[in-house]
A and B are shown apart, each in its own frame.
Chain A
């Protein structure tokens, strides 16, 4: 398939590489030209603009930071869209923003799918991302071969925006999950108990989770390199809280967690992995 790919950051680069490995013909564009180099070396074509990345392609995929970026690149895409083009945004943005962008593209004759992912950099490199898609059945079917190069658990959740709703729900669970594991570890340490042993014991029971297993191990190793930067998790939880405010939805746990991420960003941990939550808790309880 002929695919355009826009946005080559921590996530986008390995995702685009996996499309190349899957035998697709990929044209890439990134705001910073040097980000394109590894893809060009791997056989991708380079584009001069988002519009050019869309031209003559069947599918165009964006993986960028925030809703205004998605809106901007998709405006470019709409200019050069061939009839029948499917535009897929895999960034994490507000459901309302995704619906708005989808409507604008529909007006230009482009089918839109919001398809945010979960699984982090590790999942992007391994091609094992979870992909949660919102959009029409026919557009999803056309995009599916590309999704299968990048992910394993691919779910068509519902109409446009539904993918982002699922992703927001994912961020609620992972955000609180990271906080829960960090609190459990701080609790163990303050009680003079080896947290590595606690983790090992818990992995066999009902507290088992991927976050306890993977993020917990990185907390033990004190490896705070991202991974998933805490400012991005803060941004995602802000989408959750904004939506809850608009809908009149009481989310006390998410609200408390969002404030912890807010504190991380405010105290200079924004560029570290979200597991730096452990350091914030240690600081608050004088465990440094």
Chain B
């Protein structure tokens, strides 16, 4: 199948490669053509051109505004994609933005799934991402073989936007857990106790979690090089709190964690890993 891919960052590049290795004819567009270097893919001049050539297009880029520009802007996908073709947006954006883009594309008979992913760079490389999809169930079934090249757990959550709501829930739980691990590690260190031992002990009990394993390990080793850049979690928390406000739902813990993310950003660690929440607690 001719598959398009836009967004060749830390997540997108390995994802695109998996699709190509599964035997698909990969087409890419990149804002900076250099980021497509070395990929066994046809480079397109605009998103519209990529859309014209492909039956299914994947996007995984940073913000709601970026996805809107690529999908609906000048020379956007909407100008190229044929009726019946499918846009699979794996970016993390606002549920409202996903619904808006889906409606605009739908007006031209183009299908869209919001299909944000969880699992980080390692999950993208290992093709073990969790994929949470919003949109028409029949459309998801059509592209499921492609998604199976990228991840293990693919869940249809509901209509357009529902995938992004699930992703927001994922981010809330995950980053709050990172903060909890950071605070525990900080207390252990400040009490003169070996963090590595504490982490090892906790891993066997009720506090065991993937975040404790992965992020706890980074904190113990003081390895703050990004997996996922903290600035992206900071962005996500802005989206979550905006949605909370719209629904009148109080999220006291999320709001507090968001402030720790603000502190992290202020100290210039936005491009480091979110394990830097530990550093935000240190004198």
**SS of A interface (majority):** helix
Please state if B259 and A262 are interface contacts (CB–CB under 8 Å): no
Chain A residue at minimum C-beta to C-beta distance from B254: A259
Q: Does B258 contact A245, Cβ atoms closer than 8 Å? A: yes
Which chain A residues lie closer than 8 Å to B33 at the CB level? Answer: none
Is B22 at the interface (CB under 8 A from chain A)?
no
A256 touches which one: B244, B256, B260, B263 (CB < 8 A)? B256
Q: Which of B249, B250, B251 has the most CB of A within 10 A?
A: B250
B178-208: CB near A (< 8 Å → 1, else 0) gives 0000000000000000000000000000000
Knowing A238-B245, A241-B241, A262-B244, say if A250 contacts B262 (CB, 8 Å): yes
Residues of A within 8 A of B270 (CB): 248
| Nearest chain A residue, comparing its CB with the CB of B249 | A266
Residue pair A267, B248 in contact (C-beta under 8 Å): yes
| Interface 1/0 per residue, A145-186 and B, CB below 8 Å | 000000000000000000000000000000000000000000
Does B238 interact with chain A (Cβ within 8 Å)?
A: yes
In the complex, are the beta carbons of B250 and A263 less than 8 A apart?
yes
Q: Which residues of A contact B146 (CB under 8 A)?
A: none
Taken together as a complex, chains A and B put the C-alpha atoms of A260 and B260 apart, in Å, by 19
Q: State in angstroms the CA–CA spacing of A255 and B237 once bound together.
A: 12
The answer to whether A262 and B249 touch across the interface, beta carbons within 8 angstroms, is yes
Chain B residue total in the interface (Cβ 8 A): 22
B residues in contact with A238, CB < 8 Å: 245
Are A258 and B255 neighbours in the complex by a CB distance under 8 Å?
A: yes
Interface contact A259-B250, CB-CB below 8 Å? yes
Considering the chains assembled together, what is the distance between the CA atoms of A262 and B246 in angstroms?
A: 9
Contact A251-B262, Cβ < 8 Å, known A241-B241, A245-B238, A256-B255: yes
Contact B262 A259 (CB under 8 A): no
The answer to whether B265 has its CB under 8 Å from any CB of chain A is: yes
Per the 8 Å Cβ criterion, residues 263-285 of A in contact with B are 263, 265-267, 270
B266 adjacent to chain A (CB < 8 Å): yes
A288–B97 alpha-carbon span in the complex (Å): 41
Q: How far is the CB of B81 from chain A (nearest CB, A)?
A: 33
| Apart from A262-B249, A267-B248, 14 more pairs, CB < 8 Å | A238-B245, A244-B259, A245-B258, A245-B262, A247-B262, A248-B262, A248-B265, A250-B262, A262-B244, A262-B245, A263-B248, A266-B247, A266-B248, A270-B248
A: residues with CB less than 8 A from B are: 234, 238, 241, 244-245, 247-252, 255-256, 258-260, 262-263, 265-267, 270
9 example contacts (A-B, Cβ-Cβ < 8 A) are as follows: A238-B245, A245-B238, A245-B262, A248-B265, A248-B266, A250-B260, A252-B259, A255-B258, A265-B248
Name the 7 nearest CB pairs between A and B, nearest first. Answer: A266-B248, A248-B265, A263-B250, A250-B263, A248-B266, A255-B255, A259-B250
